Structure 1
Amino acid sequence: MSGAVTTATGSRYRGSLAGRVTLLTTLAVAASIALIATGLYFAVRIQLQANMDESLLKRAHAAASNPQYIHDARDGSYFPVFALNAGDIALMSVTQNGDYWNPQKRDDTDFPIPGAPEAYVAQRKTSYAVRTITTDEGGVFRAATVPISGTDEALMLAQSMQPQQAMYKRLGLIVLFFGAGGVVAAAFAGWVVAAGGLRPVRRLTDSVDRIATTEDLTPLPVEGDDEIARLATSFNRMLSAVSASRDRQRQLVADASHELRTPLTSLRTNVELLTQADASISGEQRADLLGDIRAQIEELTNLIGDLVELARDAPAEPTLESVDLSDVVDRALSRVRLRAPSVTFTEDVTSWWVMGDSSSLERAVTNLLDNAAKWSPESGTVHITLRDGVLDVDDEGPGIAEADIPYVFDRFYRSTEARSMPGSGLGLAIVRQVAERTGGSVSASRSPRGGARMTLRLPGSASPRPTEPPTEVLNH
């Protein structure tokens, strides 16, 4: 199913963007030209037809207003005076019963024949009649019929529409020619506009290809403030984020290699001493060596775990649940007390429920307590307070220098005093990462007791969130 969707999407947008813009522009202009040309053609045709009808009616009224007859001395016949002004127009006199008389004495076979509309005019049922008459031979005439003054007859003037139809054809050809020319011009203009308008897009595409090939994350130049410029600005922000991420990864690898070198060297030295030892080594010395090896292995294990935790840009599908932070503090305190038996821990905590990963929160609190225990003097006291989502951990150590406070939560950062003590400089960085993932924050300051204070703030509530609907809702 997904393959079909992919295929359909690919076929829908097949071809270049410039080609699609040109095609759409051409189609839009062609549709507009076709609409305008069609409207113009019919408007001109209707206007010409109206002018022809008006001319025929005027001439018919002028001729019908003079019904006098003239005697033809050659054959003794009479013909009306209005026949003299007929010109190239076919003329007929129509009686009330539909009979007609051709005063022009024309015997053309292709001649319009009056019908019922003309008889109605003679009968004075209508004041005039204008219609198109098609002969049996295919001729097309426009006929106008009006009553003849002083008689009970009607006068029909008919003019051939052949010249007008020829003009219609010429008009249609002209409209078609210029319309086709307009479409071609629109296609060319669309291509020029698309080529010019998409030139920045092509430059951006070339730059992206260059970055993908060379891995040079130098920001792109931005010109103007249009959509392409905003796209380039967004792309530069993405490049900055990628560059920063790559720098962090490189720094992590460099710092990790530096931090791993010391425990590995010490571990290798102790193992070599054990393998090269002879009977002269005492049992107490062997026990000391094994204790050092175990401590170094534990330090190395913790360091690798911290590196793995910090190497993730996002948590690996954490299990979010409602967690009581006071329980997390109790579990972490139980672990730290075993590692620091000479340090006294006092706690004053109240329940505070947060949505987060229980194991990550416990690790963060454990790191805070380990840090306080490490800096506390022999037989010192660590004070733990939890109120309204604010966890304060105070020690009685030397405190943190003002110059070091902004950096204590950075990866691998170790102050001058801390470089001679065990640790990798990752514990507090993990605390900040967990705090930010849970929507909180962590900060460092001077403690009123003289040492350092680490403050962890997490959003939550004093009561747990319900995991099931209330009983009233279920019964309802």
Structure 2
Amino acid sequence: MTTTATSSRYRGSLAGRVTILTTLAVAGSIALIAMGLYFAVRIQLQANMDESLLKRAHAAASNPQYIRDARDGSYFPVFALNAGDIALMSVNQNGDYWNPQKRADNDFPIPGAPEAFVAQGKEPYAVRTITTDHGEVFRAATVPISGTDEALMLAQALEPQEEMYKRLGLIVLFFGAGGVVAAAFAGWVVAAGGLRPVRRLTASVDRIATTEDLTPLPVEGDDEIARLATSFNRMLSALAGSRDRQRQLVADASHELRTPLTSLRTNVELLTQADSSISGEQRADLLGDIRAQIEELTNLIGDLVELARDAPAEPTLESVDLSEVVERALSRVRLRAPSVDFSETMASWWVLGDSGSLERAVTNLLDNAAKWSPEAGTVHVSLHNGVLNVDDEGPGIADDDLPFVFDRFYRSTEARSMPGSGLGLAIVRQVAERTGGSVSASRSPHGGARMTMLLPGSSSPRPTEPPTEVLER
């Protein structure tokens, strides 16, 4: 119990777990989307920069005219006038370069083999990232200069673009965090609202456990919670029925036990107060009456114990020949009812059940038939294909009583003057149902009542061990 409670506290409430799972799922989705968006924008901006550099390089390389610098007499290409925001350099086939902007080499991306390959005509163009000695990062695009054996390299610093990437990352992170917080709140709201019926159901169950009021719960809607409430109502109905049956059993048992106990107490008091006025024959009659009442009380208590169990206590299921069970029951009943004849026609029928319970059920059927049979009457017993019929030659069962003869403590008007507790046939039905069969009552062709017990089985015994050839394999 301690382990379960600790585990429950550790796991937290269902609403909390739903909120956490929702938040994690949304956070994961937002993270994937944000990463995808960030890299997609980065790649697209990089592609746009490369395309822009290549266009400007092609435009500049197509006009390789030079003008003279009056300050020092040097010449520089016309395209250098439009390159204020970028660094440019011409590269020959040997990889030598000329910087018309007069920038220091450590502040300028130095051309390399890819640019020389463009000047040599081995590559139509080259685009790559170059880092200077001072750690500045440039994106360089190189194209051949029209009408010459040189190539033009244009390089643009990536620092502004990297700053934009950082701002984009911060924006994505900010909105992503906001989305996670909103998802957590939405998950909590959904979990709280969705689990509200569960909390009401829990409160109702706690109320039932406290008050033992088995009134069915109200069911709203047709969702999973409503189906759970419906299933719980079915359980409550079954529990209420079981409790009602227990109460009825206790009430009926107290009523049935009162009569033999009263008679037994009266006879014992008579014996206690007996004097010489009571003859030996009267004393013997009283003792015989007491023994009969004790036997009746013993049988009644045994029947009550059998019926009080909702299920048999550790039954021993085995393959049983029902015809042998009937034979043993007949031997016992013949001793108790010597004035009644028994005729039987039976064929073997093997069932899977508890031999002792089956014998008790069959004995109850035979006892009931013997009790209602007239002097020198005959009880006809037949067993074929799992159908056991027990017919007597008594007055039969009234149509109004047929539906109730297997109910606990039910006794017809005619039976109330005869010995018995009204539990024997109830035990028969209970055993038959536990064995997977059924029992019914009807009119007998011999004029009395017919009790029919139907049990599933087969005409040959079921194997209890695998065949020898299977074991050898």
- Per the normalisation by structure 2, the TM-score is 0.96
**How far did 1:72 drift?**
2.8
User: SS of the counterpart of 1:445?
Assistant: strand
User: SS of the counterpart of 1:284?
Assistant: helix
String of CA shifts for 1:295-329, please: whole Å, max 9, x gaps.
00000000000000000111111112222222222
| Aligned with residue 266 of structure 1, among 240, 249, 263 | 263
Number of the residue aligned with 1:191: 188
Q: How far apart in 2 are the matches of 1:7 and 1:287?
A: 66
Number of the residue aligned with 1:39: 36
Q: Any unmatched runs of 5+ in structure 2?
A: none
Q: How far apart in 2 are the matches of 1:152 and 1:239?
A: 97
Q: How far apart in 2 are the matches of 1:18 and 1:36?
A: 27
| Aligned with residue 282 of structure 1, among 274, 279, 291 | 279
Q: How far apart in 1 are the matches of 2:178 and 2:253?
A: 71
Letter in 2 for 1:465: R
Letter in 2 for 1:418: A
**How far did 1:60 drift?**
0.9
Q: How far apart in 1 are the matches of 2:276 and 2:431?
A: 51
Number of the residue aligned with 2:27: 30
Q: How far apart in 2 are the matches of 1:210 and 1:61?
A: 85
User: SS of the counterpart of 1:221?
Assistant: coil
**How far did 1:474 drift?**
6.0
Query: Which 10-residue stretch deviates more, 184-193 or 13-22?
Result: 13-22
| Aligned with residue 413 of structure 2, among 410, 413, 416 | 416
| Aligned with residue 445 of structure 1, among 436, 442, 446 | 442
User: SS of the counterpart of 2:381?
Assistant: strand
Q: Where in structure 2 are the equivalents of 1:163-182 lying within 5 Å?
A: 163-182=160-179
Query: Which 10-residue stretch deviates more, 23-32 or 6-15?
Result: 6-15
Q: Any unmatched runs of 5+ in structure 1?
A: none
User: SS of the counterpart of 2:36?
Assistant: helix
Tell me if 1:460 matches 2:457.
Answer: yes
String of CA shifts for 1:357-380, please: whole Å, max 9, x gaps.
111111111111111111112222
User: SS of the counterpart of 1:315?
Assistant: coil
Tell me if 1:310 matches 2:307.
Answer: yes
String of CA shifts for 1:187-236, please: whole Å, max 9, x gaps.
11111111111111111111111111111111111111111111111111
Tell me if 1:244 matches 2:241.
Answer: yes
Q: Residues 82 and 425 (structure 1 numbering): CA distance in 2 closer, same or farther, change over 3 Å?
A: same
String of CA shifts for 1:143-175, please: whole Å, max 9, x gaps.
111111122221111111111010000000001
| Aligned with residue 48 of structure 2, among 48, 51, 59 | 51
String of CA shifts for 1:319-367, please: whole Å, max 9, x gaps.
1222222222222112112222222222222222222211111111111
Q: How far apart in 2 are the matches of 1:107 and 1:433?
A: 107
User: SS of the counterpart of 2:389?
Assistant: strand
User: SS of the counterpart of 2:11?
Assistant: coil
Q: How far apart in 1 are the matches of 2:83 and 2:90?
A: 12
Query: Which 10-residue stretch deviates more, 140-149 or 6-15?
Result: 6-15
User: SS of the counterpart of 1:319?
Assistant: coil
Q: Where in structure 2 are the equivalents of 1:181-220 lying within 5 Å?
A: 181-220=178-217
Number of the residue aligned with 2:139: 142
**How far did 1:11 drift?**
6.7
Number of the residue aligned with 2:224: 227
User: SS of the counterpart of 1:453?
Assistant: strand
Tell me if 1:321 matches 2:313.
Answer: no
Q: How far apart in 1 are the matches of 2:214 and 2:8?
A: 33
String of CA shifts for 1:62-110, please: whole Å, max 9, x gaps.
1111111112334333221111111221111222222222212334852
Letter in 2 for 1:210: R
**RMSD, aligned CA:** 1.9
- Per the normalisation by structure 1, the TM-score is 0.95
Number of the residue aligned with 1:363: 360
String of CA shifts for 1:265-308, please: whole Å, max 9, x gaps.
10001001101111211000100100010000000000000000
User: SS of the counterpart of 2:306?
Assistant: helix
Tell me if 1:10 matches 2:11.
Answer: no
Number of the residue aligned with 1:346: 343
